[in-house]
Amino acid sequence: MSIESNVTTARTITQDRVQNPRLAPGLPLGALGVLAFSFSLPATRLAVADLDPWLVAFGRAVVAGVLSGAFLLVTRAPRPTRVQLKDLALVALGVVVGFPLCTSLALHHLPASHGAVVVGMLPAATAVAAVVLAGERPTRAFWLASGAGLTAVLAFALTRGGGDLGAPDLELVAAVLLCAVGYAVGGRLSRELGGARTICWALVISLPLTTTVATIALAGDGAHAGATAWLGFAYVSLISMFLGFFAWYAGLARGGVAKIGQVQLAQPVLSLTWAALILGESVGPATVGAALVVLGCVVATQRTRVGSRHA
């Protein structure tokens, strides 16, 4: 009798946390996450203006990792299973190491507005990653729309680079691909661990690597920077790398990776707005036009139907 009661209670808690839209609807949580992430590129641009990109990329993960360890201790979070650890390693590769490092390196040479356009492909890339990892079968329209969006991004990067796809553009593309995997796997894993615990465990298991690299970068170039650079670093450490994921992964878990991923459609526009208002960057017609084309392609991917591979 006791065992049945415990099982019933566990099922009730799980369903309330994941499926009950009245308790935690996915859309508002996803929107809150996107709002937090929309300033990530401008904040990174501020930070790398004075600080070494490697220090920014790995130092932010160290700060967020220490906070994550404290959070897990206070909440007495159970340790993840061996299978969950494998998924957490993918999450860490994508959102703890891959995206921060690639964007920090790229934005050391490119304006945040340029990065916002390329990263605008992230919603479509996330949908593709979710399809692949979930074993679903995309339609031809889905792949055509995704390919059109990628073509628009590459065309923008080539024209802005004088016909040459430079290393910073390739770093941004790598950031998008790695982050898409981290989003898709993290969203799926959040159904089991919860959004907060998913990002916290990913940050904690990354601490040996992130601490080592951040220490080397700090010893090499020091920490001499202005107030605005440190403000940018503080934002990407506390919001982009930590608190923003609490809402984002919870939203993906409750509303679905593909569905809530549509909220990311607003992120490039918001990032361009912050780049113009905060950084004073010039956002020309070509940049706005490319962003709108990418958004249109991403909308098209979200409107296509995706069936099961086993159907």
| Residue 135, pLDDT score | 59
Indicate the DSSP class of residue 80: P
Query: Residues near 93 by Cβ (< 8 Å), separated by ≥ 6?
Result: 178, 181, 182
pLDDT at 304 over 60: yes
Q: What is the DSSP string of 20-70?
A: -TTTS-HHHHHHHHHHHHTTHHHHHHHHHTTS-HHHHHHHHHHHHHHHHHH
**Across the chain, what does the average pLDDT equal?**
81
pLDDT at 116 over 50: yes
Q: What is the DSSP string of 162-226?
A: TT---HHHHHHHHHHHHHHHHHHHHHHHHHHH-HHHHHHHHHHHHHHHHHHHHHHHHHHH-S---
pLDDT at 3 over 60: no
pLDDT tens-digit readout, 221-276:
777 889 999 999 999 999 999 999 999 998 888 877 766 776 777 777 778 788 88
pLDDT-derived band of residue 121, with 50, 70 and 90 as boundaries?
Answer: confident
Express as a percent the part of the chain with pLDDT over 90: 42
Residues 11-36: what's their mean pLDDT? 60
- Alpha-carbon distance values, 231 to 234, 235, 237, 243 (Å): 5, 6, 10, 16
Q: Which of 19-23, 116-120, 184-188 has the highest mean pLDDT?
A: 184-188
pTM of the model: 0.77
Name the residue ranges covered by the structural domains of the chain. 27-308
pLDDT tens-digit readout, 147-171:
777 777 767 766 765 555 678 888 9
Taking residue 31's Cβ as centre, other Cβ atoms within 10 Å add up to 17
Q: What is the DSSP string of 272-304?
A: HHHHHHTS-----HHHHHHHHHHHHHHHHHHHS
| Residue 310, pLDDT score | 43
Residues 123-129: what's their mean pLDDT? 81
Residues 275-284: what's their mean pLDDT? 80
Higher-confidence residue: 15 or 143?
A: 143
Question: Where is average pLDDT lowest: 7-11, 58-62, 236-240, 303-307?
Answer: 7-11
pLDDT at 26 over 90: no
